[in-house]
């Protein structure tokens, strides 16, 4: 199906693409964003850019009309994560995430903290990073399969009142079948057939295949930000060509 006509229910953006703005300063970021429009993509600020340029850049992007995913992957005691999510909601972000491995009480506290906002951000739990393979998981003491661990953490996130999870698109079909259509699936680790590197990502998929597997949102960084013509790549993804 053409992603532009997919019904995304939650806050219903017209495009599944979230562009990861992994730049190290505000002026490079704002120059890059000039090529984009809010109808063509959502934007994501992560740890690098937020640490460098903080809240003022985030607010400037929101004021330009972009839906903003604040990807700071909170992981702390319940009180601290709840307060951080409340601050994100006050900033007007559209989506914010936390590590589901922080546990049920942490995620419930986060959900409670934003419940009274008229338009709360989507709360998303990070399951297993897309940069991790089975061996990486074993090294941190997790001996089950990646799929089992992703499903365990995603189920916990759902029970705790979160709106969805981050996983690789390789787990999207499984998550959709077990957790239902309304649980939001956000998938990084997207690479184009024309990309000749997977960089540090391990569990990768093309945009078309990821959407066919049930992903609602595709987080895409380097395949767009490092492209010779970023807007053209974005447009081809939106048209379902890549």
Which residue numbers are catalytic?
A: 73
Which residue lies nearer to ligand C5P by CB, 35 or 79?
Answer: 35
Stretch that binds ligand C5P, among 133-141, 150-158, 171-179, 218-226 (CB under 6 A): 218-226
* CA–CA gap between residue 43 and residue 94 (Å, rounded): 10
Q: Is the dihedral of CA 132, 135, 140, 146 positive or negative?
A: positive
Per CB under 6 A, does 46 bind ligand C5P? yes
Which residue lies nearer to ligand C5P by CB, 89 or 220?
Answer: 220
Which residue lies nearer to ligand C5P by CB, 78 or 188?
Answer: 188
* CA–CA gap between residue 207 and residue 217 (Å, rounded): 10
Per CB under 6 A, does 170 bind ligand C5P? no
Describe the chain by its helix, strand, coil percentages, rounded to 5: 45, 15, 40
Stretch that binds ligand C5P, among 8-16, 81-89, 151-159, 215-223 (CB under 6 A): 215-223
From the list 208, 164, 207, 150, the residue with the least C-alpha distance to 8 is 164
Judged by CB under 6 A, the number of residues near ligand C5P is 18
Residues ≥6 apart with Cβ < 8 Å to 41: 15, 17, 18, 19, 66, 234, 238
Per CB under 6 A, does 211 bind ligand C5P? no
Q: How far is the CB of 165 from ligand C5P (least distance, A)?
A: 9
Strand ranges inside 41-101, DSSP E: 42-45, 68-74, 95-99
Find the binding residues for ligand C5P in span 79-108 (CB under 6 A).
Answer: none
* CA–CA gap between residue 13 and residue 122 (Å, rounded): 13
Find the binding residues for ligand C5P in span 176-205 (CB under 6 A).
Answer: 188-190, 199, 201
Residues in the chain: 242
Q: How far is the CB of 49 from ligand C5P (least distance, A)?
A: 9
What is the per-residue burial (b if ≥16 Cβ within 10 Å, else e) of 209-228? Answer: ebbebbbbbbbbbbbbbeee
Q: How far is the CB of 116 from ligand C5P (least distance, A)?
A: 27
* CA–CA gap between residue 27 and residue 11 (Å, rounded): 29
Stretch that binds ligand C5P, among 99-107, 123-131, 206-214, 227-235 (CB under 6 A): 123-131
Per CB under 6 A, does 13 bind ligand C5P? no
Q: How far is the CB of 187 from ligand C5P (least distance, A)?
A: 9
Tokens of 157: 């996130």
Per CB under 6 A, does 20 bind ligand C5P? yes
Per CB under 6 A, does 136 bind ligand C5P? no
Interacting residue ranges for ligand C5P, rule: CB under 6 A: 20, 22, 46, 71, 126, 129-130, 166, 188-190, 199, 201, 219-223
């Amino acid at each position: 199906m053409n992603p532009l006509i997919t019904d995304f229910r939650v806050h219903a953006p017209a495009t599944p693409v979230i562009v990861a703005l992994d730049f190290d300063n505000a002026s490079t970021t704002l120059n890059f964003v000039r090529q984009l429009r809010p109808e063509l993509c959502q934007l994501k600020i992560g740890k690098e850019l937020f640490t460098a340029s903080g809240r003022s850049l985030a607010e400037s992007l929101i004021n330009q009309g972009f839906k903003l995913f604040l990807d700071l992957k909170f992981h702390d005691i319940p009180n601290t994560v709840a307060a951080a999510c409340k601050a994100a909601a006050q900033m007007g972000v559209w989506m914010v995430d936390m590590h589901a491995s922080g546990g049920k009480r942490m995620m419930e506290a986060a959900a409670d903290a934003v419940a009274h906002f008229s338009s709360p951000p989507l709360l998303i739990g990070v399951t297993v990073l897309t940069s991790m393979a089975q061996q990486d998981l074993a090294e941190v003491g997790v001996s089950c399969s990646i799929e089992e661990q992703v499903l365990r953490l995603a189920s916990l996130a759902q029970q705790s009142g979160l709106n969805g999870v981050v996983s690789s698109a390789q787990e999207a079909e499984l998550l959709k079948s077990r957790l239902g259509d309304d649980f939001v699936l956000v998938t990084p680790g997207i690479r184009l057939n024309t990309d000749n590197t997977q960089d540090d990502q391990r569990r990768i998929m093309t945009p078309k295949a990821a959407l066919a597997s049930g992903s609602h949102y595709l987080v895409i960084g380097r395949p767009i930000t490092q492209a010779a013509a970023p807007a053209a790549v974005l447009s081809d993804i939106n048209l379902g060509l890549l």
